């Protein structure tokens, strides 16, 4: 199964990326995900189910530890028949 995750961390700071946003970006970029798109108002990444779910777990834990007060995320199945369960 292939998944797409979309997420944002808050609070926002337009002058400088807050620590929680930097940590979230580092987690996603370090994971072996495809089609990673990191931006100031939203981030997306795709990959196999196990990889995406592990990245989401790390993203939540590390971003909260780094000061995030809210994390909004959405996970969608983009190919249920694709790569298997990983």
Expressed in angstroms, the distance from the first to the final Cα of the chain is: 7
In which band, very low, low, confident or very high, does the pLDDT at 85 lie, cut at 50, 70 and 90? very low
pLDDT tens, position by position, 29-78:
999 998 898 876 789 999 999 999 999 999 999 999 999 999 999 999 99
* DSSP string covering the chain: -EEEEEEEEES--SSS--HHHHHHHHHHHHS--EEEEE-SS-EEEEEEHHHHHHHHHHHHHHHHHTT-SEEEEEEEEEETTSS---
């Amino acid at each position: 199964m292939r998944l797409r995750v979309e997420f944002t961390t808050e609070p926002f700071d337009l002058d400088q990326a807050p620590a929680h946003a930097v940590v979230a970006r580092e987690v996603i970029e370090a994971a072996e995900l495809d089609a990673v798109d990191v931006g100031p108002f939203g981030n997306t990444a795709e990959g196999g189910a196990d990889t995406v779910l592990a990245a989401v777990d790390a993203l939540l834990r590390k971003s909260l530890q780094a000061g995030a007060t809210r994390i909004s995320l959405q996970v969608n199945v983009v190919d249920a028949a694709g790569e298997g369960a990983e």
